[in-house]
Chain A
Amino acid sequence: MPTGQETLTRPATERRAPARRKTPATTGRDRTHPMWFLAPAFAILFVFFFLPTLFNFIYAFTDWSSFKSDIRPVGLENFTSLLSDGTLFGALRITLLYAALVALFQNLFGFGLAVLLEKDTRLNRAARLIFLIPVLMSALAVGYVFQALLKPDGSLNDLLSALTGQQVSIAWLGSTTWTLVLAAIIHAWKWMGLSMLIYLAGLKTIPEDVTEAAHIDGASPWQAFWSIRFPLLAPAVTFNVATALLGSMNGFDIVQALTGGGPARSTEILNIFIYRTFGQGLFAQATTMSLVLFLMVALLAFPVIRLLRKREEIL
């Protein structure tokens, strides 16, 4: 049976605090670290984050729209209608595919750049800075730039024409299959500088003697890299994959500016659907999709949060 004090204190963190004090830890802490310091932050979190989330669970089951003033409960109607016309699973599939592709490309690009630019030469340092420019740019702007670049009469086709010697006019953004992949690549292009920085920082933390020892033991540079240094990058991989996955599931700007969800809604990720239906005044449908996004991320995020917190406790 736990006593009252044990339920209030966590033994793991007690080590830092003077645990063996005579007075109960909490009363002393009330004077030195009063709980009211939490109040403003949690008030804001409650009003602007938790309450709307709670509302999601209510209004997804109503007929809230801009066409009438009263809001009535309709049960599961929103879900069944989104399920029956295939919109729900379509948008879910597109969003998950997009997120997975972004995580893949962003990490491939970022990792490649980090390895290429690892040495601290002047050229490499300048190149790193240049690869960071897209990170600072607005995602919307990135979308417009690539929309212009990938037009059928755009610059990419011009470049390819010049290289191959024949007229190339591929409608890059017109494929219902490949445009989503392209959008993911562009998303990865915007954020690869950040992944690169994190991989570079990860590479820097590996002591020089570890690789040197491998050399002395007769490992080839290739072997030394993949079996010694790469496994030591695990924390950076975790962080990059998690942020890329979660960031792109919540994406909007790039795809909206690039394709607006087209062609034939093949790139309509959840947030674009929410934006579109909200604009049409179908608030309940938008709320329903918002709830679906929330549930999907929550389901996938639990392992991620656990992972991050576990790592944090190790630190």
Chain B
Amino acid sequence: MTVPSYGPTTHRRTPPPRPRGLAARLRPIAVIALVVLVMGVPLWLVVVTAGKSQAEALSPDLSLPTRWQLWQNLAQVWQQGEVPAALLGSLLVVAPSVALVLTLGSMASWVLARRATRLNAVLYALAISGIVLPPAVVTIVLLLRQLGLAGSPLGMIGVYTGIYMSTVIFFVTGFVRSVPIALEEAARMDGAGPVRVFVSVILPLLRPVLATATILICLYVWNDVFYAFFVIGGRLDTLPLNLFQVANAGLYLDNWHLIFAYIILMSLPLLVVFAVAQRRIISGITGGAVK
């Protein structure tokens, strides 16, 4: 699964000289038409509706607003949807979850990859079972209540870490196996202990695969509403939970302009990150999937 890439892969693509037929000339037109219809229409709907007044947005359509009031709508959502609190809540949950799952997952992966015992083969199979098996959302709530963590950010962090540990272990273990063990042994000759070897030799080498895992897990956790609904249950604001609540609440019924303004606000952070780091994200996502 995981393909290591120590450096940028270079593609040597020399297209064979082929006569440009009608199909080749129509292709760009098809691409543009497809983008406009399939992506343009829904995204356009979001932007124009978020810029309308309530009366105009009552039945959302593709027409331009008679008067743009995107800023007012965004400001209104910012206050009523409690965006600052939700943003803080989201960050409070996402950052520690990702840090924890990557650190602990890498530690475990290193030993799982290097010690090929039968016990470890079983442990590895158990560890990656969570990639496909769905978490038991209902009984998690019961467990968290017994632990006194229900509704707390700590409980949520634990749940996300548990859910995505499998993904990290799967990706990282595959990667570690491809790292030559000689690199470790050199450090060991110099008298480095296991912690030292892990921190200063292994972790830096894991950078590409950790970048991929970070992107994927951030994406999942940032947008998650299902697990958050069970675990947090309204006691902490996160961005998707608030979107869910305001869209369901009477307050926002038929307030499409506010729902769409909220969607814009909520998607912006990820879109900005994507715009800045798109090349790395794309190679990260595809790097792990196909050989």
A-side interface residues toward B, CB under 8 Å?
Answer: 7-10, 12-14, 16-17, 26, 29, 31-35, 37-38, 40-42, 44-45, 47-53, 55-56, 59, 64, 116-117, 119-121, 123-124, 127-141, 144-146, 148-149, 151, 153-155, 158-159, 189, 194, 197-198, 200-202, 204-205, 208, 212, 215, 235-236, 239, 246, 249-250, 252-253, 257, 271, 274-275, 278, 283, 286-287, 290-291, 293-294, 297-298, 301, 304-305, 308, 311-312, 315
B3 / chain A contacts, CB cutoff of 8 Å: 315
Closest 5 CB pairs of A and B: A48-B162, A55-B139, A13-B116, A41-B108, A201-B286
Task: Find out whether the CB atom of B135 lies under 8 angstroms from the CB atom of A49.
Answer: yes
Task: Find out whether the CB atom of A145 lies under 8 angstroms from the CB atom of B116.
Answer: no
Indicate whether A136 sits within 8 Å of B274 (C-beta atoms), given known contacts A32-B194, A52-B139, A56-B139. yes
0/1 per residue, B24-62, Cβ < 8 Å to A?
A: 000110111011001101110110010000000001111
Choose, from B65-73, B76-84, B125-133, B206-214, the stretch at the interface.
B125-133
Task: Find out whether the CB atom of A127 lies under 8 angstroms from the CB atom of B136.
Answer: no
Task: Find out whether the CB atom of A275 lies under 8 angstroms from the CB atom of B184.
Answer: no
List which B100-125 residues lie within 8 A (CB) of chain A.
Answer: 100, 104-105, 107-108, 110-112, 114-119, 121, 123
Give the size of the chain B interface in residues (CB under 8 angstroms): 106
Task: Find out whether the CB atom of B59 lies under 8 angstroms from the CB atom of A153.
Answer: yes
In-complex Cβ contact of A208 among B13, B39, B115 (8 A) = B13
Query: Which of B38, B128, B132, B226 has the most CB atoms of chain A within a 10 A radius of its CB?
Result: B132
Task: Find out whether the CB atom of A41 lies under 8 angstroms from the CB atom of B194.
Answer: no
Indicate whether A48 sits within 8 Å of B158 (C-beta atoms), given known contacts A154-B61, A274-B138. yes
Distance in angstroms from A47 CB to nearest chain B CB is 7
Task: Find out whether the CB atom of A290 lies under 8 angstroms from the CB atom of B35.
Answer: no
In-complex Cβ contact of B138 among A26, A153, A197, A290 (8 A) = A290
In-complex Cβ contact of A8 among B114, B119, B230, B278 (8 A) = B119
Task: Find out whether the CB atom of A10 lies under 8 angstroms from the CB atom of B16.
Answer: no
Given contact pairs A8-B117, A127-B35, A145-B46, a sample of 14 additional A-B residue pairs in the complex whose CB atoms are under 8 Å apart: A12-B116, A33-B114, A37-B110, A37-B111, A44-B161, A47-B143, A132-B278, A137-B263, A138-B263, A141-B266, A145-B263, A198-B286, A239-B1, A286-B138
Query: Which of A12, A32, A34, A291 has the most CB atoms of chain B within a 10 A radius of its CB?
Result: A32
